[in-house]
Amino acid sequence: MTSAYMSAKFVSNKDETTRLFENPILEALSHVHPITPFVVFIPITLLLIAMSWKMTMLGIIISLISGLVFWTLFEYLLHRFVFHYKPKTSWGKRFHYFTHGIHHDYPKDSTRLVMPLGVSIPLAGLLYVPFYFFAGQWGHAFFAGFLFGYMCYDGMHFAVHHLQCNGRIGRFMQAYHMKHHFHDDHNSFGVSSPLWDMIFSTLPKQHSQH
67-87 confidence digits (pLDDT tens): 999 999 999 999 999 999 888
Query: Which amino acid type is present at position 145?
Result: G
pTM surpassing 0.85? yes
Q: What is the band of 51 on the pLDDT scale with cuts at 50, 70, 90?
A: very high
Give 125-172 pLDDT, tens digit per residue: 999 999 888 888 899 999 999 999 999 999 999 999 998 999 999 999
Q: What is the mean pLDDT of the chain?
A: 88
Per-residue confidence band for 108, with pLDDT thresholds at 50, 70 and 90? confident
Would you kindly state where each structural domain of the chain is located, as residue ranges?
A: 24-152
Classify residue 145 by burial, with Cβ atoms within 10 Å: 0-12, 13-18, 19+: buried
Looking at residue 9, its pLDDT comes to 60
Residue 116 CB neighbours (<10 A): 14
Residue 12 clears pLDDT 80, i.e. is over it: no
Q: Are 200 and 29 in contact (CB under 8 A)?
A: no
